[in-house]
A and B are shown apart, each in its own frame.
Chain A
Amino acid sequence: MDKHIVSPNPHIHAPVSTRSLMLDVIIALCPAVVVSFLFYGWSEVMIMAVSIVSCVLLEWAITKWMLKAPSTVGDLSAVVTAILLAMNLPPVTPWWVVVIGAAVAIAVAKMSFGGIGQNIFNPAITGRVFLLLSFPAIMTDWTLPQGFINPHLDAFSGATLLGQVNILGAAQADKLVGLQTLWHNIGGSAGEISAIALLAGWLYLVVRKVIRPWITLSIFATVAVIAAIFHLADPESFTGPLFNLLTGGVILGACFMATDYVTSPMSNLGGVIFGFGIGLIVMMIRYFGSYPEGMSFAILIMNMAVPLLNMAFHQRKFGRK
């Protein structure tokens, strides 16, 4: 008998692990990554490679030499952070800037708080915002690199749609967004190209029950409603709902960054409020702030509210009001 295990129930386990969940996120990001490679070519491939290698090596080195703990790179969370960081950078970002971004994301935002599960801020966004504040020129250099396929290089090569608002005015900028923007939206970071590719990945995660849809839907709804209200009141000054949903980092942020397990609320209601906060802040920054885009700031600010949302909102318990 002594060769048999005696331990408490449950005696079986679901086929799920941190690694399998992270792998699902990576699979979900693949369509958008492939699209970014097609449109931005070797330049984007290089950024992605540098980001992944830097993030993974850094986490490995920190656990081995600084924390003297078992390596956690096998859980693939560093790879997810790396892909998201790369997708948040302009397609011509120099390699050393990518490395600095990776260092801030992994060393500062993630590992210094205790590694996976402990960080307050989304690591990839923290890395990006650090770069935006430190290297504003590089981080807004929207020169288009040579892609593998020839995209429409007509109206607005070299600047993001959001950047056009101040130049063309809201009413003109609004006209630049149409159904083709859903498929590809040239100008901006890799993660801003294809709404369809991002949404397909998000849908994969929702169907596989890797994430719940409420945070994302709440952000979309908030952005759409606020944009609709302002746009109806004054179409000359404020861009409309479709423009605000399809441009900039709203889709990437709502689908893949705001839904990060560690830095989002646990309860559904908390998630909806979290999403509302992000939607509200991003629209206020876009309409009234000095930056053309505010998705990163919106997520980081709401990350700070997560502990409070977790304390305030709990799921309904069985047999209790």
Chain B
Amino acid sequence: MSKITFKIGGVHPDDSKLSRGCAIEVLPLPETVYVSMAQHLGAPAKPIVAVGDKVKAGQLIAEAGGFISAVVHSPVSGTVKAIAPRADLAGRPVMHVEIAVEGDEWADGIDLSDTLVTEIPDDRAAMLKKIQDCGVVGLGGATFPTHVKLNPAPGSVAECLILNGAECEPYLTSDFRILLERTKEIIVGAAIMQKVLGGCRTVIAIEENKPEAIKAVSDALKELPYKIEVLPLKKKYPQGGEKQLIAAVMGREVGSGALPISVGAVVQNVATSLAVYEAVQKNKPLLTNVLTVTGDCLPVEKQHNYLFRIGVPLSFIAEYAGGIPEGAAKLISGGPMMGRAIANLDATTVKGSSSILYLSEAATKRNAQTACIRCGRCSQACPMGLEPHLLYRLYEAGDYDGLEANAVQDCIECGCCLYSCPAYVPLLDQIRQAKGAVLGIIRARAAAAKAAAEAAKSNESKNQ
């Protein structure tokens, strides 16, 4: 039993990893794919193809829209049919490139063999460029562009690279499956990032409810020449949260509003590591990922882990897997704690898509709200040490100063508070609103301070 975990808060939902035994299957191609221009954190990508263009799989079709942004490649070969807004998961319009699939022809220079390449190039800048050019983003949920994270600002030093294999969300098994089936590639990817960061301590952190994955990684590490450790963690949600994982592995706490690098940490998901491997060693852009089709109302024999091309509509995957099960009350993209309810199943998959989760009414029903009994379970569950019951009341009272003083802006929206509340008070629903409002106030204040400083400066220069 590992005792390594984060110290503040956390909950223990049943892990429900029903699809853990389902080996990764390759999903066939649909007739049409829809490639979103907003599938990473930051500015949307800008399309560089035109309607009617012929494209190949792996060909660049959109360039980065800013410093924090990522390029996008065509996941298939075919003809560009449209470049138009299309409804995303929540039904909001987002620019998509629609491509009619014709055959499966790949762009030149991409190594499609499955030969393991263990030798890592020496040129760090070139590797970083390759990661950027291949559109690699964090696949753990935030989809933050990987090349930005691997290139810390001057003055900050990476002391520890943590590979996030916690997969603390119930039901999800895609990280578990790639840890089992693509073990060595993930390790080489980790070694590449380790080298890019200057050779810091590198840890592959896996929760101990995945003993097969821990064994596979430690066995593979023995056969490979890298200095990388595997670290079993005690199972606790939200251990895969960046701040919690750093606290668990390094015993350090990233301050409010600060980046992991401020405590010397860089965290990358194991799926991102696989993407880095493919980018650097195989010259293959990020255009596939693994997605779990699972749920409590889906028989295990109908559950799957699919290797999918990014841009395949969710509805195609659902249909291919046998359709929406009878008892499904809620469809979720992502895990049951932090995933997003699917309002539009026709939405396309993006780089960060990790699941289609079907939950029955029994599993997902929220009881009617009753009076808060001040049991304090929300505060004990909060991994950020916040007091959700207090934030809830402050928001009801419209006390934004009180909300800021009680650190509502630190909320990571993990859902532990509402999950634990015996009175079903919609804590996170309200705290999310409060957090948005307070972050707006903080930004406005910063902007006003900046404007005031500039005004003072220009007055000064006028007076001279």
Q: Give chain A residues whose Cβ lies under 8 Å from the Cβ of B363.
A: 12
Q: Give chain B residues whose Cβ lies under 8 Å from the Cβ of A13.
A: 365-367, 418-419, 424
Distance, CA A1 to CA B386, complexed state (A): 36
Chain B: how many interface residues by the 8 Å CB criterion? 64
Q: Are B256 and A117 in contact (CB under 8 A)?
A: no
Q: Are A9 and B337 in contact (CB under 8 A)?
A: yes
- Asked if B129 is at the interface (CB within 8 A of a chain A CB), the reply is no
Q: Give chain B residues whose Cβ lies under 8 Å from the Cβ of A114.
A: 371
Distance, CA A13 to CA B380, complexed state (A): 16
Q: Give chain B residues whose Cβ lies under 8 Å from the Cβ of A237.
A: none
Q: Are B432 and A11 in contact (CB under 8 A)?
A: no
The chain A residue with its CB closest to the CB of B263 is: A319
- Asked if B422 is at the interface (CB within 8 A of a chain A CB), the reply is yes
- Asked if A168 is at the interface (CB within 8 A of a chain B CB), the reply is no
Within 8 A of B (CB), among A1-52: 1, 4-14, 16-18, 20-21
Distance, CA A39 to CA B122, complexed state (A): 83
Chain A: how many interface residues by the 8 Å CB criterion? 37
Distance, CA A115 to CA B373, complexed state (A): 10
A95-116 contact mask (Cβ, 8 Å, vs B): 1 or 0: 0000000000000000000111
Q: Give chain A residues whose Cβ lies under 8 Å from the Cβ of B340.
A: 9
Q: Are B424 and A9 in contact (CB under 8 A)?
A: no
Distance, CA A264 to CA B8, complexed state (A): 22
Q: Are B330 and A316 in contact (CB under 8 A)?
A: no
How many A-B Cβ pairs are below 8 Å?
149
Distance in Å: Cβ of A185 to nearest Cβ of chain B: 31
Q: Give chain A residues whose Cβ lies under 8 Å from the Cβ of B29.
A: none
Distance, CA A72 to CA B406, complexed state (A): 32
**Given A18-B373, A116-B371, does the pair A317, B343 have CB atoms closer than 8 Å?**
no
Distance in Å: Cβ of B463 to nearest Cβ of chain A: 41
**Given A9-B413, A14-B11, A14-B419, does the pair A318, B330 have CB atoms closer than 8 Å?**
no
**Given A8-B432, A17-B367, does the pair A266, B379 have CB atoms closer than 8 Å?**
yes
Distance in Å: Cβ of A114 to nearest Cβ of chain B: 8
Distance, CA A116 to CA B371, complexed state (A): 7
Q: Are A12 and B364 in contact (CB under 8 A)?
A: yes
Q: Are B384 and A318 in contact (CB under 8 A)?
A: yes
Q: Are B345 and A1 in contact (CB under 8 A)?
A: yes
A233-270 contact mask (Cβ, 8 Å, vs B): 1 or 0: 00000000000000000000000000001100011000
**Given A10-B415, A11-B337, does the pair A318, B243 have CB atoms closer than 8 Å?**
yes
Q: Are A117 and B373 in contact (CB under 8 A)?
A: yes
The 8 A-B residue pairs whose C-beta atoms are closest, nearest first, are A10-B415, A317-B385, A117-B371, A319-B253, A266-B376, A261-B375, A12-B336, A319-B255
A6-B330, A17-B424 are known contacts; what are 5 more A-B pairs with Cβ within 8 Å? Answer: A12-B364, A13-B365, A16-B377, A21-B422, A319-B253
Chain B residues engaging chain A, CB cutoff 8 angstroms = 8, 11, 13, 170, 243, 247, 253-256, 258, 328-332, 336-345, 357, 359, 363-367, 370-377, 379-380, 383-387, 389, 406-407, 410, 413, 415-416, 418-420, 422-424, 428-429, 432
Chain A residues engaging chain B, CB cutoff 8 angstroms = 1, 4-14, 16-18, 20-21, 72, 75, 77, 114-118, 212, 261-262, 266-267, 314-320
